[in-house]
Structure 1
Amino acid sequence: MKKFWKITIGVLLVLIVVGGAAYHERHNIRRYLLVHQRYAKKDILTTNQIKLNIRPALSTANTTATNRLSQTYRRELKQVKVGSTHARVIVNPYKTSPLAGLILVKTPAATKVRLTVHGDTAATTLTKQLKGYHTQHAVGVLGLYPNRANRVTLTFTRQNGTTTRTTYTLKTAAAPQAIGKNTLKTSKPQQMALGTGNTKLTFAVSSLGYTYGLDAQGKVRWYSTKPLSHVFKQLANQHLLINTKIKASDAKSNALQETDFYGRVYHQYNLNGLFPTKTDPTKLATNTVIHHDAIELPNHNLLLTVDDGSKKFVEDTMIEIDRQTGKIKKVIDLKRILPKSAYEKYDGTHRTDGKIDWFHQNSMYYNRKNGELIISGRNQDMMLAINYKTTKLKWILAAPQKLPQSYQKYLLQPTTKHYRYNGGQHAVMLINTHQNTGSKIDLEFYDNNVPVTRGKTAQSKQWSAGEIVRIDQLKKTVTKTWSFGRTLGKRNFTNIVGSSYAVGKGNTLIGFGYADNGKRSEFVEVNRKTKQIVFDVDRTGFGHGDWSYRAQRMTLYPGSAQLSLQAIATK
């Protein structure tokens, strides 16, 4: 027996040594392939090299952790005694959403539940009607105030119409000071787009820091403790898509998560950001891979704006990843679509790492009607459309300067004289999609009014604005139909970041994210017809770099989001 153990231990030691050597060998091979990159042509990486550089991988660390919490609550629900007064009340059930709660309760008869989160006013009281009759209830609560004993009422209605109510208290801690100060300047709730039950909040989406939601009175009603960077989107299944860090100690944000307002994680994709440096390509440095935007495609895969691992260029590539596996299905390199002169002769901006940010893609929108992808590139002062399947260029909205003759045919022609072109714009989206017919589309975007490469006028840098243009894609014409921001003047001029989104009731929510040279962000909801401001909040006192990249109006209780938590009760 003693001899047997000596042999076994010896074999194990050999395996460990061999395995360790194999790991280091693979590591060295990978570093070699990252340093000695393969190019399809000058400065354009091969598709396989880009896939190798980024290498998305599914991670189960956070999904496992939140699934365990769900299992815990499921067991606790079984142990709860029947009766609303015996409920189990939990604050921050998934550990990253401090203004969320969970109420586990059993009723003697099947009931449906109506949730009321009491606010300071009628417009800030949030309500949600849950579907279905049950005897076991896992009621998710969203929209609590920080640093308060919140009152939450559940109204239980039996199938015969009998109704009872119970009010619970959910105590929360103070919000982080790093969120800054939000000062309400204007609030006209009846004219705001607050959604059913006032559940729509104004979300300040961080460039790198705290993303949070404000109610109609400018009070914080949701935030995540995760450091979020740029991406905060709602998916077709009502989950959230966010970009965060793999580990809290990481300097870069390279984890794409499918999550929700409670903090549960359904999928996580970790991306490799170890790329060659420009000054010494034999050395590798960690970079942020997903830099500004991510959207869901009709096939439910995810399209991401990425750094592709080039030693020379950044922010000019997109990848489509498979939702289930994380594998890269498609690569779009904008250097293959736009003229060489755009990236070979670019000198509009300079980065500390020496890499060339010639395009700086900051947003995209997929047009389901014709399969076209609309793209915004800040540093080319350009919006353009490509056929997503073929990547063939369809049109360009930009001033004509510095575009070679072969690309002039793609330019949209203004229908009016003295047309002011967009400069350094952000946040492209289509509106009136149900009304538009034929070749005409209405494109909304945030015009920073900062000419980086083309389109400079005497009005440049004097203000920033939310704008809408009508594009006739067949005739290749453009007409400006709405603009708001000029009257706010230089106070709301933003050199970088910003957004302009239609939010309902004929209103647009504009995020002036980098006002006062990045010391202030302002969120303004304005009626497009009357140009009356119905909501206005100033954000100050936040850290450098944590300015609000976008302002978005989103509901805390989208579709069946509440019912998905109810699944805890029924499994």
Structure 2
Amino acid sequence: MKHIWQKIIIGLLFFFLVIGGIAYHERHNIRRFFLVNQVHRSAHILTTAQIKLNLKPALSTKNTTTTNQLSATYRRKLANLSVGITHAKVIVNPYKTSPLTGLILVKTSQATQVTMRVLGDSPQTTITKKIPGYTKQHQVGILGLYANRTNHVQLTFTTKSGTKITKTYFLRTGKASARIGTNTVKTSHPTQMALGTGNTKLTFAVSSQGITYGLDAQGKVRWYSTNYISHVFKQLANGHLLILTKINPNDHHYNALQETDYYGRVYRQYNFNGLFPSKTNHKKLVTNTVIHHDAIELPDHNLLLTVSDGGADYVEDTMIELDRQTGKIKKVIDLKRILPKSAYTKYHGTTRSDGKLDWFHQNSMYYDKRTGTLIVSGRNQDMIFAINCKTTKLKWILAANQKLPTRYQKYLLKPTTKHYKFNAGQHAVMLLQPDKAKKNQLQLQYYDNNVVVTRGNQSVSKKYSAGTIVSINQLKKTVTKTWSYGKSRGTYDFTNIVGSSYAVGKGNTLINFGYADSGKRSEFVEVNRKTKYVVFDVNRTNFPSWDWTYRAQRMSLFPKHTHFSLKNINQ
């Protein structure tokens, strides 16, 4: 009887906490109680309400307020300017976190359209952008400056009648962060690279834990953020960036998910507490990084995030859907409810210093909006699988047939390629040209680290890593290898952890061998898939430990339908 009453009391307290019907300090104390005394749905699996309570994100307006204050200052400066292109106000790093950006404020007597040109060291590294519309008051955002030099930026003002006048402005920048390390160009053929209109696309080296930066076709740094970024650096549908950074610069953990842009303006920020019980002592709460490897935007613009569930036993095996507007958790997908129990209760592939089990280690995901399919990659199970995102029901599994219970084998894709080598320790799953594909025929690209953790071919494990493309027939449940590059580079570019492989245009794929030489080197290689001719190859060295490149991404500084504005950020 006593035990039953304890359960009832705990249930009532939990109910009041979740609905927020008691005072803040009481909620805070009770939250700590439920962090120590986790409520389970069944053995090893937390309830959905418990996971929401553990993570409990909160919207922060601190950085959006700072953004609006700076924008208001620049609006006043523009209003007070005299008319004439010689009276322009030039500002470097206007939002304080992107040192290779600028802002030029200028008034003209007639309404004009502006074309901005950041002069590069070659025609292929000169960045050009035409700003839409005609106006007399110009707020021209500048992207793509070089570090540690006086940059020449040309603005061409064109009237509606076609009259043009060009003025060169000078923007002086300081030295780039030493944490970027040394980027040595081994190969560069810019005319064969996918650089976008006006050479506005850079190769972005996304940090594991540190400085993320963008290189031009000559391997020169043309953008970086002073915010420390971990894993997540994505372009959203509205042209903004989604990054995972620190709430405070001196924090050890990355618990701020921020919607920002290349200038450093902050549109939204979601802070996570990350205070979870330790494995050895459940009464001891220790701060952890909540979001770890990936975040994607869903068709309704909500965010799907890879997270740890906040329990004392397991990490990196859960996803949450975050409401973009409110910051509330709308849905929880716990992989322990989808995959075999033996996968996490009998896992021995890796160990952690905190004693928790990283049995799955989800490192990427991709949402196919045509079918509502979510494709998930788990390094430590050497597995890629697909589920119906709404129902979470399994559709197929791409993995070697080892250590899988009989009832899961019906989901396994059967190879049609002779001597097919299954993915092992893979990263960065994404569909190739999904809009042109048939619903049941997928072209799946991923980075095959080729390190067997749980299942796979041990005889070739760790011999090389490769960018890979396979064709999947979802109806027949078959898989065919269609392209791979990396085997010829052998152990030189073998990557035990991290890495990426993405199609970037012109029939090219950009591959990041991010953990070469046991993490002392990252190498970015753009290769033509048809000819296997390397058109770009950069070695990155001399960077701090833990700051190896997680992904290499080719992204535009000026996404479609975006332009700089000094309007207030909508909070």
Q: Which bracket does the TM-score occupy, shorter chain normalised? A: over 0.9
The answer as to whether partners of 2:72 and 2:566 remain within 8 angstroms in 1 is no
1:347 is matched with: 348
Residues 1:542 and 1:435: Cα distance change in structure 2 (over 3 Å) = same
Distance, in Å, in 2 between the alignment partners of 1:425 and 1:73 is 46
The alpha carbon displacement at 1:460 in A equals 1.2
**C-alpha contact 2:91 2:102 (8 A) present in aligned 1:** yes
* Partner of residue 512, structure 2: 511
Residue 566 of structure 1: CA displacement?
Answer: 8.0
SS in structure 2 of the partner of residue 230 of structure 1 = strand
Is structure 2 residue 246 aligned with structure 1 residue 245? yes
Q: Does 1:182 align with 2:183?
A: yes
Structure 2: distance between partners of 1:71 and 1:263: 15
* CA contact 1:242–1:257 (8 Å) conserved in 2: yes
What is the match of residue 220 of structure 2? 219
2:475 and 2:221 mapped to 1: Cα distance? 46
Note if 1:391 corresponds to 2:392: yes
The aligned amino acid for 1:82 is V
The match for 2:503 is 502
Preserved CA contact (<8 Å) 2:371 2:439? no
Q: Which residue does 1:163 correspond to in 2?
A: 164
TM alignment of 1:364-383, pairs within 5 A? 364-383=365-384
Q: Which amino acid aligns with 1:62?
A: N
**Residue 221 of structure 2 corresponds to residue 194 of structure 1:** no
Matched, 1:75 2:81: no
1:522-541 CA-to-partner distances (Å, cap 9, x unmatched) read 00000000000000000000
The 1-side partners of 2:199 and 2:418 are apart by: 43
| Distance in 1, Cα, partners of 2:296 & 2:553 | 15
Q: Distance in 2 between matches of 1:255 and 1:498?
A: 23
May I ask how many residue pairs the two structures share in their alignment?
548
Alignment of 1:325 onto 2:307: no
Give runs of aligned pairs for residues 115-514 of structure 1, distance below 5 A: 115-514=116-515
Following TM superposition, by how much is the alpha carbon of 1:463 offset from its aligned partner in structure 2, in angstroms? Answer: 0.4
Partner of 1:3: none
Identity %: 70
Q: How far does residue 162 in structure 1 lie from its aligned partner after superposition?
A: 0.3
Per the TM alignment, residue 567 of structure 1 is displaced from its structure 2 partner at its CA by: 8.5
Q: Give the secondary structure class of the aligned counterpart of 1:77.
A: helix
Q: 1:176 deviation in Å?
A: 1.2
SS in 2 for 1:489: helix
Question: What's the CA shift for 1:457?
Answer: 3.3
**Alpha-carbon distance in structure 2 between the residues aligned to 1:81 and 1:455:** 69
| Deviation, structure 1 residue 23 | 5.7
1:434 is paired with a residue of what secondary structure?
A: helix
Q: Following the alignment from structure 1 to structure 2, what is the Cα–Cα distance between the partners of residues 367 and 239?
A: 21
1:97: Cα distance to partner? 0.2
Taking the aligned partners of 1:63 and 1:567, their CA distance within structure 2 comes to: 9
Q: Secondary structure at the match of 2:259?
A: strand
Alpha-carbon contact 1:131-1:563 (below 8 Å) kept = no
Q: Normalising to structure 1: TM-score of the pair? A: 0.95
1:64 aligned counterpart, secondary structure: helix
Q: Tell me what 1:541 maps to.
A: 542
Aligned to 1:555: 556
1:262 maps to amino acid: Y
What secondary structure does 1:470 align onto? strand
| Map of 1:9 onto structure 2 | none
Query: Which amino acid counterpart does residue 244 of structure 2 have in structure 1?
Result: N
Q: Which moved more, 1:58-67 or 1:22-31?
A: 22-31
Q: Which amino acid aligns with 1:148?
A: R
TM-score, reference length from structure 2: 0.95
| Superposed CA offset, 1:173-215 (max 9, x none) | 0001111000000000000000000000000000000000000
Deviations 1:374-401 (A, max 9, x none): 0000000000000000000000000010
Distance 1:242 1:268, change over 3 A: same
Gaps of at least 5 residues in structure 2 are 1-21
1:522 and 2:516 matched: no
> Is 1:64 aligned to residue 62 of structure 2?
no
Counterpart CA distance in 1 for 2:180 and 2:278 is: 33
Question: Following the alignment from structure 2 to structure 1, what is the Cα–Cα distance between the partners of residues 435 and 445?
Answer: 15
8 Å CA contact 1:139, 1:566 repeated in 2:
no
Q: CA deviation at 1:563?
A: 4.2
Letter in 2 for 1:549: Y
Deviation, 1:266, is 0.2
**Deviation at residue 99 of structure 1 after TM alignment:** 0.2
Deviation at 1:436, TM superposition (A): 1.3
Q: Partner amino acid for 1:209?
A: G
Does the 8 A contact of 2:210 with 2:228 survive in 1?
Answer: yes
8 Å contact from structure 2 (residues 89, 104) kept in 1: yes
C-alpha distance in structure 2 between counterparts of 1:77 and 1:139, whole Å? 11
Contact 2:139–2:565 (CA<8 Å) still a contact in 1? no
Residue type of the alignment partner of 2:35: L
Shift of 1:417: 2.5
Letter in structure 1 aligned against 2:177: P
Paired letter, 1:458: S
Amino acid at match of 1:76: K
Q: Which amino acid aligns with 2:523?
A: E
Please state how far the C-alpha of 1:418 moved relative to its aligned partner.
1.3
C-alpha contact 1:527 1:533 (8 A) present in aligned 2: yes
Q: Which runs of 4+ in 1 moved over 2 A?
A: 21-28, 560-568
Deviations 1:380-436 (A, max 9, x none): 000000000000000000001000000000000001231100000000000122331
In 2: Cα distance, 1:218 partner to 1:371 partner: 39
For residues 245-295 of structure 1, what are the alpha-carbon distances to aligned partners after superposition, in whole Å with 9 as ceiling and x for unaligned?
000111100000000000000000001100000000110000000000000
Q: Deviations 1:293-313 (Å, cap 9, x if unpaired)?
A: 000000000000001101000
* Residue identity in the other structure for 2:415: P
CA distance, structure 2, for counterparts of residue 180 and residue 567 of structure 1: 36
Structure 1 spans left out of the alignment, 5+ residues: 1-20
Residue 40 (structure 1) aligned with residue 41 (structure 2) = yes
Q: CA deviation at 1:22?
A: 6.6
| Contact 1:138–1:566 under 8 Å retained in 2 | no
Structure 1 residues 31, 432: CA separation in 2 closer, same or farther (over 3 Å shift)? same
Structure 1 residue 564, shift from structure 2 partner: 3.9
Q: Structure 1 residues 22, 409: CA separation in 2 closer, same or farther (over 3 Å shift)?
A: closer
Equivalent residues of 1:148, 1:173 under 8 A apart: yes
- The amino acid of 2:101's aligned partner reads A
